[in-house]
Amino acid sequence: MVFKPAVVAVCAAFIGLAPAADADVVISQSNNPTVALTDELTDLFSAERDALASVQRVRLEQLVAPKTGHTGPVYSKYWVMDQPEATLDAEGKCLAEALYFEARGESVAGIFAVAEVILNRVDSAKYPDTICGVVNQGTGRLHQCQFSYTCDGKKEIINEPRAYDMVSRIAESVIEAERRPLTEGATHYHTKSVNPRWARAFPRTATIGYHHFYRQPGASGES
């Protein structure tokens, strides 16, 4: 079987081999079909790279993310910062502040999860029915509050505006979301470095980042 010289050259180029010496192939560089084909492929790949570069990072993440049937947030910083700047009312600001002081060092999914806990408590008859009420429950009693930053004796100062901008967008996203799928109705969480007594009685629903999440028996948070 005799192959055309261009085919031989292309195959050799792709497998990293030169054509055999006895292939009786003589091709002038000035009119080489392999060179022309290589140029076409280079142009094609360049066009594909340009097309990918024009796609927003969050869209690429959506395209490659596993299909779960969930159409809510993509838990990445790129998705969050692609959302409109948050316009929060007083309740939303209570949530953003809680996320800033309680979870800004967590992953984006971890911040969303803490937000879910707060809103799950709002939905539960066992807790206040407002975000601010939940966040500030027990405030005023040193180390006796529900969220430690409100009763640790330290002044709350927001000195990382970029972090606050991100948690504000997350707060707004969770408030507007139809579902809260990360924590399966969790009403409590703690860091992995501690082991509170209540954690022995509450079923654990998730572990995200540095936090374990639990659902209080009898609490009717969303799942």
The token pair that represents 94 in the structure block: 């209570």
pLDDT for residue 156: 85
User: Which segment of 54-68, 85-99, 156-170 scores lowest on mean pLDDT?
Assistant: 54-68
C-alpha distance from residue 220 to each of 35, 56, 126, 146, 201 (Å)? 69, 38, 8, 18, 16
60-69, 88-97, 117-126, 202-211: the lowest-pLDDT one: 60-69
Instruction: Give residue-wise pLDDT tens across range 108-155.
Output: 999 999 999 999 999 999 999 999 999 988 765 655 677 878 787 788
- Say whether pLDDT at 223 is over 50: no
Confidence of residue 174 (pLDDT cuts 50, 70, 90): very high
Average pLDDT for 147-172: 90
pTM strictly above 0.85: no
Q: Write the pLDDT tens digit of every residue in 71-80.
A: 467 799 999 9
Cβ–Cβ < 8 Å for 190, 211: yes
Judged against a pLDDT cut of 70, whether residue 18 lies above it is answered with no
Q: Reduce the DSSP state of residue 115 to 3 states and report it.
A: helix
Asked whether the predicted pLDDT for residue 209 surpasses 80, the reply is yes
CB 9 within 8 A of CB 20: no
What does the pLDDT look like over 19-34, one tens digit per residue? 444 444 444 455 666 6
- φ/ψ region of 86 (left if φ > 0, alpha if ψ in -120 to 50, else beta) reads beta
Q: What does the radius of gyration of the chain's CA atoms come to, in whole angstroms?
A: 28
* For residue 52, pLDDT beyond 50: yes
Distance between first and last Cα of the chain: 67
Contact between 190 and 132 under an 8 Å Cβ cutoff? The reply is no
Q: How confident is the model at residue 67 (pLDDT cuts 50, 70, 90)?
A: very low
Q: Please, what is the average pLDDT of the chain?
A: 79
